Amino acid sequence: FPSHDNASLIPVFKFRFIHHNFKHVNPSASGTVTMESKFSPVINVYQDMYDFEDGHWWYLALRKMLLHWVKQIHPAVILDAGTGTGANLRMLNQSGHSAVGVDISDHAIQFCRERGLQQIAKASVTDLPYEPQTFDLVISMDVLPFINVSDIPTVLAEFHRCLKPHG
């Protein structure tokens, strides 16, 4: 890569970040800290994602691998946790699965709606709005690197909670 800044990590995108302070939500009750992210991408990142997802090699290869994995459990009820602009969600539903998505970003959800996707909920991966043992599979592509490290155990516990036995 020509440089070591965030923009060079994935050259196609123009990453723009806004720093958010951590927000404590009822810390005396649970001791948990919730936040969208320490660094949240603004709408331009979602616009770039939406524009490139259908033709960029990274996304094409990711969906090809994903489809290979999920066809082994076909048909499946799938949660796309951190669905972004919804290209994976659309592909999963078109391939015969019953897939729903969650994202914390209103901008991402707006792009999902532009793709015609309706099975979207606004939620954090730290607090999924589903009953236990709902899904055969939980996917979360390119999401965990943007989660605060201290929240990763909570996120993984939420994924596990939502999975059916042997999911």
The model's pLDDT over 106-154, given as tens digits with 9 standing for 90+, comes to 999 999 999 999 999 999 999 999 999 999 999 999 899 889 999 999 9
pTM: 0.73
Does 97 have pLDDT greater than 60? yes
Burial of 108 (0-12, 13-18, 19+ CB in 10 A): buried
Confidence class for position 156, pLDDT limits 50, 70, 90: very high
pLDDT bin (cut points 50, 70, 90) of residue 42 is low
Backbone angles phi, psi at 51, to 5 degrees: -70, -35
Instruction: Give the whole-angstrom CA distance, residue 132 versus residue 42.
Output: 32
Task: Give the CA distances from residue 3 to residues 33, 44, 63, in Å, rounded to whole numbers and listed in that order.
Answer: 33, 21, 28
Read off φ and ψ for residue 140, nearest 5 degrees: -155, 90
Q: What's the CA gap between 33 and 23, in Å, rounded?
A: 7
pLDDT exceeds cutoff 70 at 59: yes
